[in-house]
Amino acid sequence: MVLTVALIIGTILFGIGLYGALSQTNLVMIMMGVELMLGAVMVNLVAFWRYLHPESYSIQMFVLVVMTVMALEAAVGFAIGTQRFRTKGSIESEESADMKG
């Protein structure tokens, strides 16, 4: 795969994720947008790694760490959303202003 194609795909994914995260009020949709943006960053990271240093494998470990963080972020976010829905009946972000942390 050519570097330009991978970067264009990553840019399109990041743009869709950014639009999804900024235009939605639902917590689940915002988290999906953030996950899509992180996935796009990983696509670009792997594309640059493959283009610049194909003999090195250190970036693969970094991508695995980022994927683990993505999974943890999704699990914590969905747990907060589930608890919020159980207590308040909604997971809209405008209604979450009363959450203290």
Return the ∠ at Cα 23 (arms to 17 and 26), rounded to 5°: 95
pLDDT of residue 96: 66
> Is the pLDDT at 59 greater than 90, yes or no?
no
Domains and CATH numbers, the chain: 3-89 (1.10.287.3510)
pTM for this entry: 0.80
Q: Which residues contact 11 (CB under 8 A, 6 or more apart)?
A: 40, 44
* More confident of the two residues 1 and 63: 63
pLDDT at 24: 87
Q: Write out pLDDT tens, residues 6-25.
A: 999 999 999 999 999 999 88
